Structures are given as C-alpha cells and as structure tokens.
Amino acid sequence: MTRSSFLIAVSIFGVAFALQASADDSHMHHAMNGARLAAAASAAWTEGEVRSIDKAAGKITLKHGAMPKFDMPPMTMAYRVKDKAMLDHLKPGDKIKFDVDGAGGEFTVIRLEKEK
C-alpha cells in the first residue's frame, strides 16, 4: 500500500473548512465518502419563512426555496413536524432553515433552525 496526502474542502452554511490528512489508499476512499456525506447533509437544508403554525396538529406552513433532493420548486406548503416541541419558539414571519424526510410519501420536517 502506498501513503498519500490529500486535502478536502467542505463548505457548510457558507463557511469553508479545509481538512488535510495522510492516509493509505484504503482509508482515502472512506475519507472522500465522508466529505461527500457532509456536503449532502448541508445541501439537505432549505431556507424558508414560517407562514402559520398549528401546534395541536403538529403542522407548520412554510414558504420555501427549491428542495433539490425532492426535485421540488419553491412553494408554500404545510408540513408535519417530527416533534411538536419544534414549534414552541416559532411564530409567523420567522426565517428558518429546515430539513424534510419524505418517507412513506408524507413530508415531515425532521430538523429546523431559526435564523438570527
């Protein structure tokens, strides 16, 4: 096996990080897959604006940008939330970043962060 050095650049939320490591060929493949997963995770976030909240039903209506992972254009849509507590500190007009799971044909917000 040969030893090699590589540099991985990852951009998360507009902040670039550079990672350098020395690894043999068998570990380089795993490191590159990790970088791809990190990039895919950051791409999963969608920016949106809260339009309405129905805490009793566990739903939030969002006006959001495109969601490439679902080939979905920008729109306004109601989503279930994974946990009703996610809605506790939100109000209409709040800007958020969120991630959606489409398992079972139903879109559910699985994580969200309120923008500052």
- The pLDDT of residue 4 is above 80: no
- Judge whether 64 and 78 are in contact, CB under 8 Å: no
Rounded Cα distance between 69 and 111, Å, is 15
Contacts of 86 (CB under 8 A, 6+ apart): 60, 109, 112
- pLDDT tens, residue by residue, 60-92: 999 999 999 899 999 999 999 999 999 999 999
Determine the pLDDT at residue 79.
Answer: 97
- The pLDDT of residue 15 is above 90: no
> Mean pLDDT across the chain, nearest whole number?
79
Architecture in CATH of 47-114: Beta Barrel (2.40)
Q: Is the pTM of this model over 0.75?
A: no
Look at residue 11 and give its three-state secondary structure.
Answer: strand
More confident residue, 79 or 16: 79
Determine the pLDDT at residue 17.
Answer: 53
List the domain boundaries for the chain. 3-43, 47-114
